């Protein structure tokens, strides 16, 4: 009896022990599993990007995440105006501990961000030989005081789009000069049911500056000479460029609403068939020619118009990747940058959206050319495009120009007065007045 009880007790004891052991094992397992699950949690790499472009980059982002399950890429959708995005990045860096691991950067931002110490120097990660495959101006935009802060992803240059069908209707060739553009616009507005001649970007933001850069160069002048810091705004060409903008609206060639247009607004007008000419970036080609676009197949593209005896000028634009100095994940961030800027993904992006590649070889790539034959000529335009001044005070200088151009095209100031004041303020910012 005692034996049996003991045996029973012993048996129960064993059972209990077994259960405890099992419980312990399960707990340990859960803990271990927890650790492993946590170790497999992907690292999030985040950056801010204009909403239109985030849509377009999503395909590449998904591809990257499929190939790199340890990284989750978060593209935060920002406003579509380039400098509005810059302001958001600036605020986040100023506050310290920016939530962005990557700076998806316009071609004009680097001197300011690098000088502030907000970016990692990428020189050790990429060789000069590797950079030689990229457009020189795109690489130059990433240089600051011996460091390299921005890997080029795509370039940009302003172009003039025209409606081939409308020009044919009025029997004119595509315009080369400012007066050709005016004459063709007036003829088309008079003889067809198209309302507007020329649409462009006149809102008070970075885009109006890029339009101005092309106009002032088309009159043979300049905004700011990057080597001497001389300001050209109040010189004859500087004033003529502002007069041209104002005259376009005053003479009814451009709609009054152009003073609020950014890229997308002007593109809509052109795409809906409401305007004969459009100044915009190369991506418009794919968008306006897409299936279902009312103007598909009736579009021509050429360098921007200029004054008699002068040359066309394209403003250099473009976007690339920098890495935030405070990111806890610089290695993962670099893998993202490497992916987007490598030949395969860049080619995919370019072929789908007609964006201008930063890698030179893609301009003559047979697949790219099969899709966009005009890319062969774009290489020359890219190599001669006019950069905006690469100075640390760029954002302030751009802001001054934006304000005064906006004031003159909305009839608050004559072009002469506006450009004189803009020149004075710019010289003070640059420390070259007096």
49, β-bridge pairs: 77
Q: Which stretch binds ligand GLC (CB under 6 A): 130-138, 188-196, 205-213, 238-246?
A: 205-213
Residue 127 burial by CB count (10 A; 0-12/13-18/19+): exposed, middle or buried? exposed
CA distance 305 to 151: 31
**Min dist. Cβ of residue 265 to ligand GLC (A):** 12
Q: What angle do CA 352, 341, 112 make, to 5 degrees?
A: 115
Q: 156 vs 399, which CB is nearer to ligand GLC?
A: 156
Stretch that binds ligand GLC, among 202-210, 227-235, 362-370, 420-428 (CB under 6 A): 202-210
CB 211 within 8 Å of CB 245: yes
Q: Which stretch binds ligand GLC (CB under 6 A): 116-124, 142-150, 185-193, 311-319?
A: 311-319
Burial of 247 per CB tally in 10 Å (0-12, 13-18, 19+):
middle
Instruction: Tell whether residue 107 is a contact of ligand GLC (CB under 6 A).
Output: yes
Sorted by sequence, the CB contacts under 8 Å of residue 168 that are 6+ apart come out as none
Residue 318 is a binding residue for ligand GLC (CB under 6 A) = yes
Which residue, 238 or 282, is less far from ligand GLC as judged by CB? 282
Q: How far is the CB of 210 from ligand GLC (least distance, A)?
A: 5
Which residue, judged by CB position, is nearest to ligand GLC in the bound state? 317
Residue 45 or 107: which CB sits closer to ligand GLC? Answer: 107
- Kindly state whether residue 210 participates in binding ligand GLC, applying the rule CB under 6 A: yes
Smallest distance, ligand GLC to C-beta of residue 329, A = 27
Q: Contact between 214 and ligand GLC (CB under 6 A)?
A: no
3-state SS class at 326: coil
For residues 85 and 92, what is the distance between their CA atoms, to the nearest angstrom? 11
Binding segment for ligand GLC among 216-224, 316-324, 362-370, 373-381 (CB under 6 A)? Answer: 316-324
Residue 360 token pair: 């030179």
CA-based angle 375:380:384, to the nearest 5?
135
Ranges of H-type helices in 258-374: 263-271, 284-288, 330-341, 343-353, 366-371
Beta strands in 183-280 (DSSP E): 196-199, 275-280
Compute the least distance from the CB of residue 94 to ligand GLC, in Å: 21
Choice from 142, 303, 317, 357 touching ligand GLC (CB under 6 A):
317
Site for ligand GLC in 149-188 (CB under 6 A): 156
List 357's β-bridge partners, or say none: 154
Q: Which of 75, 82, 85, 181 binds ligand GLC (CB under 6 A)?
A: 82
Minimum CB distance to ligand GLC smaller for 106 or for 425: 106
Number of residues that bind ligand GLC (CB under 6 A): 12
212 versus 319: smaller Cβ distance to ligand GLC: 319
Residues 345 and 63 sit within 8 Å (Cβ to Cβ): yes
Closer of 283 and 334 to ligand GLC (Cβ): 283
Which positions from 319 to 358 touch ligand GLC by CB under 6 A, shown as an x/- string? x---------------------------------------
Residue of 49, 103, 109 lying closest to 78 (CA atoms): 49
- Distance, in Å, from the CA atom of 270 to the CA atom of 200, rounded to the nearest integer, reads 10
DSSP 126: S
Question: Which residue number, 174 or 317, has a Cβ lying nearer to ligand GLC?
Answer: 317
The β-bridge relationship of strands 151-157 and 356-357 is antiparallel
Q: Which residues bind ligand GLC (CB under 6 A)?
A: 82, 106-107, 156, 206-207, 210, 263, 281, 317-319
């Amino acid at each position: 009896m005692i034996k049996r009880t003991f045996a029973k007790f012993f048996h129960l004891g064993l059972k209990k022990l077994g259960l405890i052991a099992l419980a312990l094992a399960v707990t340990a397992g859960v803990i271990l599993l927890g650790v492993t699950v946590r170790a497999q949690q992907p690292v999030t790499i985040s950056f801010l990007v204009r909403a239109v472009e985030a849509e377009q980059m999503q395909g590449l982002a998904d591809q990257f995440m499929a190939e790199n399950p340890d990284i989750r890429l978060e593209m935060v959708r920002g406003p579509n105006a380039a400098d509005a995005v810059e302001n958001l990045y600036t605020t986040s860096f100023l506050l310290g501990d920016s939530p962005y691991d990557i700076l998806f950067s316009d071609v004009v931002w680097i001197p300011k961000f690098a000088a502030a110490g907000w970016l990692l120097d990428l020189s050790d990660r990429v060789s000069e030989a590797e950079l030689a495959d990229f457009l020189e101006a795109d690489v130059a935009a990433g240089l600051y005081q011996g460091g390299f802060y921005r890997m080029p992803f795509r370039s940009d240059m302003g172009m003039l789009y025209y409606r081939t069908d409308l020009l044919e209707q009025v029997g004119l060739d595509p315009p080369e000069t400012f007066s050709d553009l005016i004459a063709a616009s007036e003829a088309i507005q008079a003889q067809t049911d198209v309302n507007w001649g020329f649409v462009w970007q006149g809102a008070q933001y970075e885009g109006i500056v890029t339009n101005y850069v092309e106009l002032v160069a088309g009159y043979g002048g300049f905004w700011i000479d990057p080597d001497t810091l001389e300001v050209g705004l109040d010189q004859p060409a500087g004033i003529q460029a502002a007069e041209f903008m104002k005259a376009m609206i005053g003479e009814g060639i451009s709609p009054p609403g152009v003073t609020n247009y950014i890229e997308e607004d002007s593109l809509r007008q052109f795409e809906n068939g409401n305007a004969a000419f459009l100044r915009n970036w190369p991506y418009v080609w794919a968008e306006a020619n897409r299936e279902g676009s009312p103007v598909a197949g009736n579009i021509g593209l050429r360098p921007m118009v200029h004054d008699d005896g002068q040359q066309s000028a394209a403003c250099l634009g473009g976007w690339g990747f920098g890495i935030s100095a405070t990111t806890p994940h610089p290695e993962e961030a670099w893998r993202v940058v490497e992916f987007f800027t490598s030949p395969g993904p860049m080619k995919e992006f370019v072929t789908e959206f007609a964006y201008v590649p930063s890698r030179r070889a893609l301009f003559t790539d047979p697949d790219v050319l099969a899709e966009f034959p005009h890319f062969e000529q774009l290489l020359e335009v890219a190599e001669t495009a006019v950069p905006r001044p690469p100075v640390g005070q760029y954002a302030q200088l751009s802001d001054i120009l934006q304000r005064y151009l906006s004031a003159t095209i909305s009839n608050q100031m004559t072009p002469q007065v506006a450009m004189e004041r803009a020149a004075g303020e710019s010289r003070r910012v640059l420390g070259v007045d007096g």
